[in-house]
Structure 1
Amino acid sequence: MPPTPAALEVRDLRRAYGGRVAADGIDLTAAAGQVTALLGPNGAGKTTTVECCVGLRRPDSGSIRVLGLDRADPAAAGELRESVGVMLQDGGLPMAPRAGDVLAHVTRMYDHPLDPRELLERLDLTGSARTPVRRLSGGQRQRLALACAVVGRPRLVFLDEPSAGLDPRSRRETWSLVRELRADGVAIVLTTHLMDDAEQLADEVVVVDAGKVVASGAPGDLAGHAVVDAYAPANRPTADWARDLAGELASAGRRDLADATTAHDDAARVLLSPGTRGPDARDVAAVASAADLVARRVSGVAGATDVERAGLEPTHANPAGHARVEIVAGRRTLEDAFLELTGRSLRTDQDRPGSADEAAPTGSSARRRRRSR
């Protein structure tokens, strides 16, 4: 029996707008019954990739297979329209009709849809069903767009920022709905600026930057490391502090830790072995001892290291006025991994216009977008 094809297979996708490259050889696979999170700063190529996958843009080159069908084949359009759900961040919703009427209209496009009344209730939209879409809040429009994307029981669904603008209760309900879709065997491609969404929902994470895939894997594998952060004393440049700590660790015979020490925000970060579930107490003690020695040398007085947050006892007393270093041991987060891979924070790059990925569309596409705003 031949293996079941992936719900989505993207190979060597390339798309440019004039001289600006938005997708530069992107490969992406999404499996049935899994959530694949597409992460990247603004302009990374996420939006272009998704728009090519759902047929809103044509790639310059590369191949896209959706549910085993060639996305470029016009004969596949009808089947894909029936089997693929799409939620775009800007919604693409008509503004004049009432919310309930919009969902009812979409429902009639499918042979075996979900009950739209139950979906409105599930997403806390029953009370807004008679409200024109233009008068809905941003969060309500997001929930309506989500309802429209899933009401047709899709086999593959693209969700662009499904939790954006939602209150905590609505966000949890959205998570619950996504998990139910996954349990039903639906393939879900999720783009998000919210790391919590990816960490809570994703089976696979694909990190895109400058139009290329820079990393992919399970969230735990991408984060994957336990870390020890030694925070620099006041007025000590972080780069100098990290260099001195690495030198002290090497002198103490811990070249493995020295080679894994880098400046990270206002701390020297020591990245422990991949796959470790938590920091080893011996590694934490080695970092604490080295940091203590560096702090004493820098200050010229007997310093001390505060390792209480690591669950260890301080190695020295801390007389008033002496240098003090804080040691924090834990696990690297997915956001840490993202920052190291791209050099940018996902949270501070939200939807700024003018990037290559968000290049202004031309022709009828541009006119359609202007009318929908």
Structure 2
Amino acid sequence: MNAASTHHLGRPPARRAAGRAAAGFAALIALLTTACSGDSGDDTASSGGDPTDVRRFDGETLTVAGYSSTFNDVWAESFGAYFEERTGVTVEWLESSPQQAISRIRAAGGSPDIDMMLLDTANLAQAVQADAVAEVDTGLVPNLDDVPDALRIDQGIPTMLYRYGSCYRADTFTDLGLAAPTTPDSWFDPRLAGHVMLPGSTASQWLITAPAFAQSLGFAVDDAEGTADRLAELDPYGFFNASGDVDSAMTAGDVWLTLGNVQGRCLALKQQGVPVEYAGWEMDVDGQQYTDLLNPDNIVLVNGTEKAEVAALFMNEYLSAEAAAATVPLWQFIAGTPPTEAALDELSADPAAADWLIADPSALFTPDYQAFLPSLADWNTAWNGLLS
């Protein structure tokens, strides 16, 4: 992917350079003003020292609630290693899940033992509702200028983007004479009945995809019963609550189509020799056409942490062009699209990345999760009764 094809993902290079030059000039003026006023610099030191010194927090430790130990290890060995060497800050990664992390923060009573956490956009809505996250001082994260406005959040930064659609047995679809199941209507072909799998309500994919199921099928986000009744017409094979459920059922050939599945999982299954393909999730929502469901993953600031400025340094470094080369293994591992133009250019050197890179995030649909959450209890009830 060349710079022209990703131009929409960041400001033009000349504007970025001008912005950074202006920021540097402003910092110089501030420094000279402080020196001339006779200020001892104590206030600056207490807030982390010279903001242009990337080693101003040398010796500090950041604790991050991540996901699985495997995923955390890739984070630590890629960007984590780069960040620690460059800044002198140690990063500790805790195996966790969004719900576990949110519960841990709430139980801490304002004195959390974690500073940041990984949260997809759906779970971020729950964290905001639970008052588990805080807003980041964007002045400390100037590299946010390189992130598209549509991807920015108040509580942190996007780390990578994923697309959600379906994973299907290409061999079976060919035998049946079926086209790729890219539209909701295609899911309901009677020949697929009994061989379609849906995310269970305890699966991480469920919160991400449930409102999209509703809206892509023509229902409101609070119409849990209508959506569940329509999906019951699939005569579903069952629910998947973990990646292993999908892998086993599709490898055995019992399931021919899984809905609401992250693309990276399907690509991994294909690499294992299972004859599967990823299909997009074409939908019309409020008159707008979309090709897939978009779910950004983010790293966010924990409410109550005393290391907000150290966390901001982590976020700013992650978004830097200099960190992109070190972070490529992370994006390759999870089939994620980075949020900046410089990182996209770095990752596009890998020909395999063409299978998952998202060139235009605006072409993908992101639900309004805040509008969805008030009806969450109704959704759980309706969804869990879908197989009965």
Is the pair's TM-score, using the shorter chain for normalization, greater than 0.5?
no
Structure with larger RCO (C-alpha < 8 A, sep 6+): 2
TM-score, normalising length: structure 2: 0.28
Q: Which has the larger radius of gyration?
A: 1
- Larger relative strand fraction: 1
- Larger relative helix fraction: 2
